[in-house]
Amino acid sequence: MSERIGYFRVSTKDQSIDAQRSALGGQFDKEFKDEGVSGAVLAAERSGFAALLKFVRAGDTVVVYAVDRLGRDSIDVQSTVKGLIDRGVGVEVHGLGKVEGEAGRLILAVLAQIAELEKTKILARCESGRVIARESLAATGKTQHGKASLGRPVAGDAAGVVAWRKENGASIAVTAAHFNLGVSTVKRYASQSAP
């Protein structure tokens, strides 16, 4: 008996697969998902998709919301879909339908190229933002968003925190409370100062 299998992927923890499930109708025999996983990670290396690959069999249909849910690397997307089709597994993309025959593979190849182009554009926008932030930081002491530094802000003086902890024989939790820092921050400072 063939099964209809849903696959969902979201890149960040604040995104939800519910919108994808709703758009696809949600009537699946089995679902697989990868949450907080970038499309830049090869499909077979994602835990949810790897489990899907082990589960599917000839006659099943894998349904995805968009090509970029499979990945943002056109070669990976094409080889993933080809591998499924070669195993007798259908692939259906919302709004595109079932990928079948040479015409379906051609359309999929074009869409995969668009997904890869979007990934490149995202990276370029991020780098452009970092350049603007560095320039603003150098000129004004603040980024364009009013932050005092790039990346993670420095919380406390690492050397001072480590020295105080050592002088007082304090635990990590006591040190964190004393300096109003997170326990993980104090642990990181301690590990950075270890010989």
Say if residue 103 is in the same domain as residue 42. Answer: yes
Domain endpoint, select from 85, 113, 141: 113
Nearest to 118 by CA among 39, 6, 1, 8: 39
User: 159-168 long-range CB contacts below 8 Å, 24 or more apart?
Assistant: 159/193, 161/186, 161/189, 162/189, 162/190, 162/193, 165/190
Mean pLDDT for 98-126 is 77
DSSP annotation of 40 reads T
Check residue 47 and give its pLDDT.
95
Q: Which residues contact 58 (CB under 8 A, 6 or more apart)?
A: 87, 88, 89
Residue 143 lies in a domain: no
Answer whether residue 155 shows pLDDT above 80. Answer: no
Domain that holds residue 25: 4-113
Answer whether residue 151 is part of any domain: no
One domain for residues 15 and 92? yes
Q: How confident is the model at residue 104 (pLDDT cuts 50, 70, 90)?
A: low
pLDDT at 49: 95
Same domain, 186 and 102: no
94: CATH: 3.40.50.1390
Is residue 11 annotated as part of the catalytic site, yes or no? yes
Among residues 11, 38, 136, 193, which one is catalytic?
11
Taking the whole predicted model, whether its pTM rises above 0.85 is answered as no
| 109 and 167 inside one domain | no
End-of-domain residue from the set 78, 113, 148: 113
Same domain, 106 and 173: no
Residue 104 to residue 10: CA distance in whole angstroms: 25
Please tell me whether residues 20 and 89 are part of one structural domain: yes
Task: Answer whether residue 9 is part of any domain.
Answer: yes
Please report the sign of the dihedral spanned by the C-alpha atoms of residue 7, residue 9, residue 14, residue 19: negative
Same domain membership, residue 93 and residue 186: no
pLDDT at 45: 93
Q: How many domains does the chain have?
A: 2
**Residue 134 pLDDT > 80:** yes
User: Residue 127 domain-assigned?
Assistant: no
Query: What is the 8-class DSSP label of residue 23?
Result: H
Please list, in sequence order, all residues whose beta carbon lies within 8 angstroms of the beta carbon of residue 43, skipping any fewer than 6 positions away: 49, 70, 71, 76, 77, 80
Same domain, 109 and 165: no
| Least confident piece of the model among 80-89, 126-135, 143-152 | 143-152
